[in-house]
Amino acid sequence: MTHIKVNVDGTTYEDEVEPRLLLAHYLRDRLGLTGTPIGCDTSNCGACTVDLDGATVKSCSVLAVQADGSEVTTVQGLAKDGEWTALQRAFHERHALQCGYCTPGMIMAARDLLRENPQPTSYEIRQALEGNLCRCTGYQNIVRAVLAASGQEAPAVAEEVTA
């Protein structure tokens, strides 16, 4: 067992963990922060994406002991005092989620993109989210949501025109 001290979403935790414990399982099973889901076992899907000291990582591919002394932000730490971030609002308003399973990782990856590139093009958004798989949305509304969250004109989603 290894002693670790890690700050997650503003709260500091101290734990004894096995060195082999994955950060994703530490967050989910030990801390009960289940907002970060797991979608694969080969680091492809990105559902488990979190922020680790300002870098975006797939938490299934980081050991909890590697997060010792670090600050981790998950999707559960984004909204402050119940106030959603622009990305969370945009995902809702642009219908950028369906089953919701990829959404936490998708939002975390998009957040990282907008930090580095506040006004990305559609293609840059698609490139940045290449490590995040979604099975429901076909990605287009996710691109629209990220455009909207960056303050850019984003094409709307459908409106009914029949009576």
Partner 1 sequence: MTTVASNGHRTAFVDNDRKPTGHGRMLRKEDPRFVRGKGRYVDDLQLPGMLHLAILRSPLAHARVLSVDTTLAEAHPKVRLVVTGAMLAEKGLAWMPTLSNDVQAVLATDKVRFQGQEVAFVVAEDRYSARDALELIDVEYEALDPVIDVRTALSPDAPVIRDDLEGKSDNHCFDWETGDAAETDAVFARADVVVSEDIVYPRVHPAPMETCGAVADYDAVDGKLTLWSTTQAPHAHRTLYALVAGLPEHKIRVVSPDIGGGFGNKVPIYPGYVCAIVGSLLTGKPVKWMEDRAENLISTGFARDYVMRGEIAATRDGKILAIRTNVLADHGAFNGTAAPVKYPAGFFGVFTGSYDLEAAHCKMTAVYTNKAPGGVAYACSFRITEAVYLVERIVNCLAFELDMDPVELRMKNFIRPEQFPYRTKTGWVYDSGNYAPTMELAKQLAGYDELRAEQAEKRVRGELMGIGVSFFTEAVGAGPRKDMDILGLGMADGCELRVHPTGKAVVRLSVQTQGQGHETTFAQIVAEELGIPPQDIEVVHGDTDQTPFGLGTYGSRSTPVSGAAAALVARKVRDKAKLIASGMLEVSVADLEWEKGSFRVAGDPNASVTIQDIAMRAHGAGDLPEGVEGGLEAQICYNPENLTYPHGAYICVVDIDPGTAKVTVRRFVAVDDCGTRINPMIIEGQVHGGLTDGVGMALMEMIAFDEDGNCLSGSLMDYLIPTALEVPDWETGFTVTPSPHHPIGAKGVGESATVGSPPAIVNAVVDALAPFGIRHADMPLTPSRVWEAMQGRPVPPI
Least Å distance between CB 22 and partner 1? 9
Least Å distance between CB 125 and partner 1? 7
54 Cα distance to chain centroid: 13
- What is d(CA 72, CA 69) in angstroms, rounded to the nearest whole number? 10
| 3-class secondary-structure state, position 107 | helix
Nearer to partner 1, 69 or 157 (CB): 157
Nearer to partner 1, 17 or 67 (CB): 17
Least Å distance between CB 103 and partner 1? 5
Question: Where on the chain is the footprint of partner 1 (CB under 8 A)?
Answer: 18, 20-21, 25, 28-29, 32-42, 44-45, 47, 74-76, 78-79, 84, 88, 91-93, 95, 97-104, 107, 122, 125-127, 129-143, 155-162
CB 38 within 8 A of CB 24: yes
Nearer to partner 1, 67 or 105 (CB): 105
Residue 23 burial (CB count, 10 A): 27
Query: In the β-sheet with 71-73, what is the strand arrangement from edge to edge?
Result: 11-17, 2-8, 71-73, 49-52, 55-58
Nearer to partner 1, 37 or 52 (CB): 37
CB 109 within 8 A of CB 36: no
Least Å distance between CB 64 and partner 1? 12
